[in-house]
Amino acid sequence: MTTRNQAKALRLARLRELLQLRPRRVTELAGQFGTSRRTIERDLADLRELADIRQRDHEYWIDAPRDALNPVEALAVHSATRLLVHHAQINEQNYRTALEKLARSLPEPARSSVHRSVEELADKSSVNSRHLDQVAQAWFEQQVLRFDYLSLGSTTGKKRPQELEVYFFEISRTNLAAYVLGYERSWHRAIRVYKLDRMSNLQVDRSAAGRYEIPADFDPHEFLSGAWGIVVGEPIEVSLRFKPQVAQQLLELPPHNLEIGEADADGSVPVLARAGTGPDGIPHDLLAWVRGWGAAVEVVGPPRIREYMRSELTAALRHYD
């Protein structure tokens, strides 16, 4: 059991870390630690004996050395933190702290921009704030992760218990959502991909039976290489034809699983796209991207995929009849 003195020592260490990241107000710190303002004020007084605390108006901070980044390195870190902010759907304290640590190395105005983004994360729901923590522990400590999962195509609406040996944590390139990849050993007994937002009741199995090792020959990058987004089922090639007016936009696309051909006589551009299919044999990730181009694209083949897209568009058109 943690004693009162131990709890205070831990709080002071955490307080020092937070003040090194950026200036903070007493009210913000009290909310973060779940204590009173008076407790934080006493902690600040005690911490002054160990560190040089600066103060301006109602904000406190501790100067800390920063690693110097050249402009391109700074832009890379800024871009990475923006992606992290965009895909975050939950408010998790350690997650926010990680972003602030990255921000320390940035010059202005990028540093202030990241801090503003972190403040926006703090306003999000914290109902599932432990999910990232438990996924991280399961992966890095290689302990089985137990959870309930609601499959997107479930007809019953019931969640099914899962036992996952976590192999990888991925951010989908198509929707920027977080996914957990690994070997599900209780039901599917196969490598599966789970969306973090649909996982609930997460628990890390810390028993000896919960230990596992990631196979040495498993390469997550290779495993996901055939996926358009995150679907890694049976691969398929889909032929597309784009109208001339979007030809330049096609050339600006990243080449991942896309093969752009020479323009036809009428200016239309043939494109071959590769993607993984779902259990129904349909490349849903890819077709969602295709629908985003509206009337500027046509699915040429295979015939089954063309017919599926035609029926989907026909059904959608009924909403505007």
Query: How confident is the model over 57-92, as pLDDT tens digits?
Result: 888 888 876 666 778 888 888 888 787 777 665 677
Residue 57: both structure tokens together: 């108006």
Question: What are the strands, taking DSSP E only, across the chain?
Answer: 24-25, 53-56, 59-62, 145-149, 160-171, 178-184, 190-195, 199-204, 235-242, 258-260, 269-276, 297-301
User: In the prediction, which pLDDT does 81 show?
Assistant: 79
Q: What residues form DSSP beta bridges with 163?
A: 146
Are 146 and 215 members of one domain?
yes
Are 212 and 134 members of one domain?
yes
Mean pLDDT of 164-170: 94
User: In the prediction, which pLDDT does 74 show?
Assistant: 85
User: In the prediction, which pLDDT does 111 show?
Assistant: 84
**Position 225 in a domain:** no
Instruction: Please give the residue that has the higher pLDDT: either 128 or 123.
Output: 123
Residue 183 has pLDDT above 80, yes or no: yes
Residue 239 has pLDDT above 90, yes or no: yes
User: In the prediction, which pLDDT does 181 show?
Assistant: 94
Are 242 and 296 within 8 A, CB to CB? yes
**Position 49 in a domain:** yes
Domain of 55, in residue numbers: 4-62
**Position 226 in a domain:** no
Residue 142 has pLDDT above 90, yes or no: yes
Percentage above 90 pLDDT, the chain: 35
**Position 224 in a domain:** no
**Position 47 in a domain:** yes
Residue 145 has pLDDT above 90, yes or no: yes
Position 127 confidence tier, pLDDT thresholds 50, 70, 90: low
Residue 238: both structure tokens together: 């889909």
**Position 192 in a domain:** yes
User: In the prediction, which pLDDT does 121 show?
Assistant: 77
Percentage above 70 pLDDT, the chain: 93
Query: How distant, in Å, are the alpha carbons of 177, 242, 264 from that of 267?
Result: 36, 9, 5
Angle at 61 between CA 56 and CA 62, to 5 degrees: 130
Give the number of domains in the chain: 4
Q: What residues form DSSP beta bridges with 169?
A: 180
Q: In what order do the strands lie in the sheet with 59-62?
A: 24-25, 59-62, 53-56
Residue 155 has pLDDT above 70, yes or no: no
Mean pLDDT of 219-243: 88
User: In the prediction, which pLDDT does 253 show?
Assistant: 82
Residues in the chain: 321
Give the residue from 176, 192, 219 where a domain finishes. Answer: 219
Residue 305 has pLDDT above 70, yes or no: yes
Position 297 confidence tier, pLDDT thresholds 50, 70, 90: very high
Handedness of CA 117, 120, 121, 122 (dihedral sign): positive
d(CA 301, CA 237) in angstroms, rounded, equals 9
Position 184 confidence tier, pLDDT thresholds 50, 70, 90: very high
User: In the prediction, which pLDDT does 61 show?
Assistant: 83
User: In the prediction, which pLDDT does 102 show?
Assistant: 80
Are 29 and 12 within 8 A, CB to CB? no
**Position 41 in a domain:** yes
**Position 248 in a domain:** yes
Nearest one of 305, 250, 313 to 283, comparing CA atoms? 305
- The model's pLDDT over 246-276, given as tens digits with 9 standing for 90+, comes to 988 888 887 788 999 998 999 999 999 999 8
Contacts of 256-262 spanning 24+ positions with Cβ under 8 A: 256/173, 257/226, 257/228
Are 140 and 187 members of one domain?
yes
User: Any alpha helices (H) in 152-238, and if so which ranges?
Assistant: 220-224
Give the residue from 189, 219, 249 where a domain finishes. Answer: 219
User: In the prediction, which pLDDT does 245 show?
Assistant: 92
d(CA 26, CA 319) in angstroms, rounded, equals 53
Q: Which residues contact 315 (CB under 8 A, 6 or more apart)?
A: none
Angle at 193 between CA 173 and CA 299, to 5 degrees: 55
